Amino acid sequence: MQLLAICGSLRTGSFNRAICNTLPDLAPDGCEIVQAPDFGGIPIYNADHHATEGFPEQVEKLAQMIAVADGVVIVSPEYNFSVPGGLKNTIDWISRLPDQPFKGKQVALQSAAGGMLGGARMQYHLRQIMVFLEAKVFTKPEVFVSFAKSKVDDSGTRIADETTREMIRAQLAAFTAEIGGRA
């Protein structure tokens, strides 16, 4: 089984990137985690650009990766109580493709934030977007990493806190079991 991990942050030292870096260590046996490339170079969606220049190569590559994956794990921070602009822009581009790669795709959400809610509000907004795109959004267990700075290792690149690792491990196990049960 293959899961595609999409990080919703472009920030160096992102707590959400630390989660993505840790996912392969926590995935069940037989589950490969593939990291999506960062989406920083994708232009802001504009129907005129789309009509004259088509889809950016990065968008087509990511859509292809989504299509071949058995499931997608989106790990993202919360910006202003919502989805970061870069991630939303990428989803907007992907939603314009004739073959809708998120349609029917199993999607799990995870988030990390410096405060006590751990990105919960972002997840609720992203869930609405994914439902509109007809993705099959995984519901429980959820992963909200609060006070994320205290959960990473000294390098800031991986999750070190064992309780947080177990929460992520449990979600991945349940998510892959659900995907396997529907295959």
Give residue limits of the domains in the chain: 2-182
pLDDT single digits (tens) 42-54:
999 999 988 899 9
Taking the C-alpha atoms of residue 134 and residue 146, their distance in angstroms, rounded to an integer, is 29
Write down the CATH number for the domain with range 2-182.
3.40.50.360
Kindly report the pTM of this predicted structure.
Answer: 0.94
Give per-residue pLDDT as tens, 24-75. Answer: 999 999 999 999 999 999 999 999 988 899 999 999 999 999 999 999 999 9
Could you read off the pLDDT of 110-138 as tens digits, one per residue?
999 988 888 899 999 999 999 999 999 99
Separation CA 140–CA 171 (nearest Å): 7
